[in-house]
Amino acid sequence: MFAAPAFWSRDGLIAKALSPLSAIGAAMTARRVARPGWVAPVPVICCGNVTVGGAGKTTLVLDLAHRLAGRGVHILLRGYGGSSRGVHRVASTDLASLVGDEALLLAQVAPTWTGADRAASARAAIHAGAKILLMDDGLQNPTLAKTASILVIDGRTGFGNGRVLPAGPLREPVAAAVERCSAAVLIGPDATGAMANLPPDLTVLRASLVQDSSITALVGQPVIAFAGIALPEKFFSPLRQAGAVLLGAWPFPDHHAYTDLELDGLIHHARQRKAILVTTPKDAVRLPQPIRDQVTVVGVGLKWENGREIDQLLEEVIVGTP
């Protein structure tokens, strides 16, 4: 299970010692993103981040896809964790092992395409009728030109120690990423002072994660929770705060492929404690159907400080595209 090194959150001796390698990585990324990408004849909106790990990109894409429903929006992503190669349109019968868990979630909202070459996926989507393309990740992918890019920031972790891999959690320097972004979305309170690293003229929209209505059935109930996401505590903490009696919290690696032994252990543990077994939608799509039927799924969405701002941003991008 990957865990971010502790020194990524502070600028200590290890981070400084690794900084020459970071400089090489940053230079390589700068050269890659400078390559011109294919310019699509429809608006392309990218939701990306500058750090490794979960910042909330997929949650934002789901929100935007709902807002753009009925306008011909299609979603593009790599399909991390899936075995599919090349361009693939996600079908309801696909398994997470083929297209990845995030693709299955997104395909429930809008037509979704996986593939490392975003330009190839974009061409296929447009041929299939796409009027707007929404990218989940890809800020550092140069194959497809973006009409607008939105930088997604997790308020809890921010930019870590502010250094590029391997000295820190950044894929590239924050300043370099921001130059290619039209706006930023901060999810949750700014616990690390990340906003101080952004230019004052960058539009910053603020939102918080909220559980869906299924959480109400868990208030006061004994719960065993498990999550295979980048930051499992982002799932466990809100359960506690909502009033669920969390008797166990089992973290797994992001995109984890659960074994029969692990699932049997979770079910046995929940039965032994007479508790409700709870997980995330992203985990649920990776479970065999018989197991999925025994698990309560609690999803999350975004609550915006000002929902009109994000709608206005989308409209400006779409209307302003030739």
* DSSP code per residue over 138-151: -TT--SB--SEEEE
Token pair, residue 175, equals 């300043």
Neighbours of 240 (CB within 10 A): 13
Token pair, residue 109, equals 């909202």
Share of the chain above pLDDT 90, in %: 91
For residue range 209-268, what is the model confidence (pLDDT) as tens digits? 999 999 999 999 999 999 999 889 989 999 999 999 999 999 999 999 999 999 999 999
Who contacts 272 (Cβ-Cβ below 8 Å, separation ≥6)?
none
For residue range 267-321, what is the model confidence (pLDDT) as tens digits? 999 999 999 999 999 999 999 999 999 999 999 999 999 999 999 999 999 988 6
3-class SS of residue 265: helix
pTM (two decimals): 0.93
> Topology of domain 213-298, per CATH?
Rossmann fold (3.40.50)
H/E stretch holding 298 reads: none
> Topology of domain 13-209+303-319, per CATH?
Rossmann fold (3.40.50)
| 87 torsion bin: left (phi>0), alpha (psi -120 to 50), beta (else) | beta
Whether 42 and 73 have beta carbons less than 8 Å apart is answered as no
Evaluate if residue 75 carries a pLDDT over 80. Answer: yes
Is there a common fold for 13-209+303-319 and 213-298?
Answer: yes
Give the domain ranges of the chain: 13-209+303-319, 213-298
Whether 39 and 145 have beta carbons less than 8 Å apart is answered as yes
pLDDT band at 1 (very low <50, low <70, confident <90, very high): very low
Who contacts 222 (Cβ-Cβ below 8 Å, separation ≥6)?
245, 247, 273, 274, 275, 276
Neighbours of 26 (CB within 10 A): 19
Residue type, 281: P
How high is the pLDDT of residue 321?
Answer: 64
Tokens 């502790």 correspond to 6
- Asked if omega into 111 is within 30° of 0 (cis), the reply is no
3-class SS of residue 68: coil
What is the chain's mean pLDDT, rounded? 94
How high is the pLDDT of residue 197?
Answer: 95
Residues in the chain: 322
Q: Output the CA–CA distances (angstroms, integers) from residue 131 to 59, 92, 178, 198, in the order listed.
A: 21, 22, 26, 31
For residue range 274-287, what is the model confidence (pLDDT) as tens digits? 999 999 999 999 99
How high is the pLDDT of residue 83?
Answer: 94
